[in-house]
Amino acid sequence: MKKMGEFEVKKETKYEVDTHDDVEDDVEDAGHEVKEGAKDAGHEVKEGAKDAGHEVKEGAKDVKDKLKAGAKAVFNKAKDPDKDTETEYQKEKVKEKLD
């Protein structure tokens, strides 16, 4: 049997062992993955903020429509005390949604 340094080689294998130091490549790959992950996360946050802004805008529009409908219902009730405020409000709310 062959001797290698202080170790005895019992059997030769068909496999090669990678003796290159690929640490720099691994670090570069990991850095690239982190950068891409951060970019994706940033994009998701940006889209989330955009969606939230849209929801706030729609919510504010809905509140504005309800306030206008309520004000018109109260005005109609003041003009004609026999009118039902809830019925007037529902009519005005439908009109505001259509506008």
| Predicted local distance difference test score (pLDDT) of residue 38 | 85
What is the reported pLDDT for 1?
A: 47
The pLDDT tens digits of the residues spanning 42-58 come to: 888 888 888 888 889 88
For 28-85, the pLDDT digits (tens) are: 778 888 888 888 888 888 888 888 888 898 889 888 888 988 898 898 889 888 888 8
Separation between Cα atoms, residue 95 and residue 68, nearest integer Å: 10
pTM (2 d.p.): 0.47
Domain boundaries, given as residue ranges, for the chain: 61-99
Amino acid 17: pLDDT: 58
pLDDT band, residue 88 (cuts 50/70/90): confident
Closest CA to 64 of 83, 38, 84, 92: 92
> Residue 95 and residue 70: Cα distance in Å, rounded?
12
Residue with tokens 């062959």, as numbered in its chain: 2
- Strands 3-4, 7-8: pairing is antiparallel
